[in-house]
Structure formats: C-alpha cells, structure tokens
Amino acid sequence: MTQEHVSMPCAVLTVSDTRTPKDDTSGDLLETLVSEAGHTLIERTICKDNVYQLRAVVSDWIAREDIEVILTTGGTGFTGRDNTPEALTPLFDKTILGFGELFRQLSWEDIGSSTIQSRAVGGLANATLIFALPGSNNAVRTGWEQIIRNQLDINNKPCNFAELSPRFREM
C-alpha cells in the first residue's frame, strides 16, 4: 500500500576551503535533488574544512528540531584538509555502517579502485540523519540517487528511514 509522501526537513553543508555560493556546484546539486524529491531545504551553508568549525555547524543543526536530515558534500578524501569524517563521526549516536560500504560499492562502477579513497560516512545524532558525501557532482548524484533518496522515501520497501524518523526522537 502506497503511503502519502513525507517531506523531510533537510540541511545541506558544503565542506570546502575554496568554494563560494557562486561556484558551489555540489551544494547546488544537492539542493536541487532534495527539492525534486519533495523534501524541504531548511538551511544551506559552506564551511571551511576545519574539524571544529564543521562540528559547530553540524552540532547546531542536530540540536534543532526542524532539521531531520543533514547532507554534507566534500572533505571525505585523504588530503591534509579532508576532515569531514573526523569531525562528524564523534557526533554520531549510531553509525550507518552500510552507507559508506554501499556508496563505495556503487562508485566502483564509475571510478574503479579509486573508490577506496572515498571516506563517505553516515550516522544518526540526536534523531538527525547525517550523510557525508564526497565533493564531486558525480559522487553526490550517486549517493543521492542510488541510496539516500530511497531511504528518505516512505514508500521504499522493505524499509526506509522516513518511516523510522518519528521513532528516532524516542531514543
């Protein structure tokens, strides 16, 4: 039985030392994908790739009741300034282990063995879903279209995060 669409309130964070609102293509893409899927964008920002600045932004968002999903793009590689996993994973109450694993598996088709350099992670913090994607548009599209979109769709079976979301608040 098909249920009525559930619009989940989302926030988008671009992690970059160089991007600005004028050239933040992966943030633009995430905003478009969220909207096209019928979800609500509550807030969007760009943050320098600094562990403490990232934690401050995300901590603020997970403390808010009007944001249920945080999508980040960038900072998941191996260079010295790629700190997104280190910033976010200590905030997780639960880690979505399968997210990073599945993302890398799906990326194999596009980028081959280079997928091992992706440190995409997902978790749950204070009843807020958090998905950290690499910064390329291709990676954002792969993560959204093949994993996240379905998990935010209440009609995705056999299970999805949209139907679990109210129970996250009971943790």
pLDDT 10s digits, 15-70:
999 999 999 999 999 999 999 999 999 999 999 999 999 999 999 999 999 999 99
Q: With bands split at pLDDT 50, 70 and 90, how would you rate the model's confidence at 169? A: low
Give the domain ranges of the chain.
Answer: 9-168
pLDDT in the model for residue 168: 65
Q: With bands split at pLDDT 50, 70 and 90, how would you rate the model's confidence at 1? A: confident
pLDDT in the model for residue 170: 61
Instruction: Record the pTM.
Output: 0.95
| Residue 127: C-alpha distances to residues 3, 36, 106, 130, 149 (Å) | 22, 24, 27, 10, 18
125-135: average pLDDT = 96
| Residue 88: C-alpha distances to residues 33, 94, 119, 149 (Å) | 23, 11, 12, 21
| Class of CATH domain 9-168 | alpha beta
